[in-house]
Amino acid sequence: LAPRALLEALLSIEAEGGRTRDFHRAPRTMDLDLLLHDDIVLDEPGLQLPHPRMHERAFVLQPLAEIAPTATIPGHGSVQSLLAGVADQSIERC
């Protein structure tokens, strides 16, 4: 799917799963984010690619490094190199 169509599909899955958006940063029953889409860089209302701040979050980078160790975040660099910058963030596997 194209990025916008994929985002709409993710939002639909969230809604079907009972996700509501009562207020900004409300507790979530489900949160599906579109992080990357190939090497596409977009900044449109409601859709930014790569996902903003993903390069600053260990809970995003660590799992991404496990499934795509050679991944690169456009404009920020390789996932492997970005991991060093978030080494102070602790995450736990559930």
Catalytic residue set: 19, 28, 31, 33
Number of residues in the chain:
94
CB 60 within 8 A of CB 91: no
* Partner residues linked to 43 by β-bridges: 48
- What CA–CA distance (Å, rounded) separates 90 from 63? 13
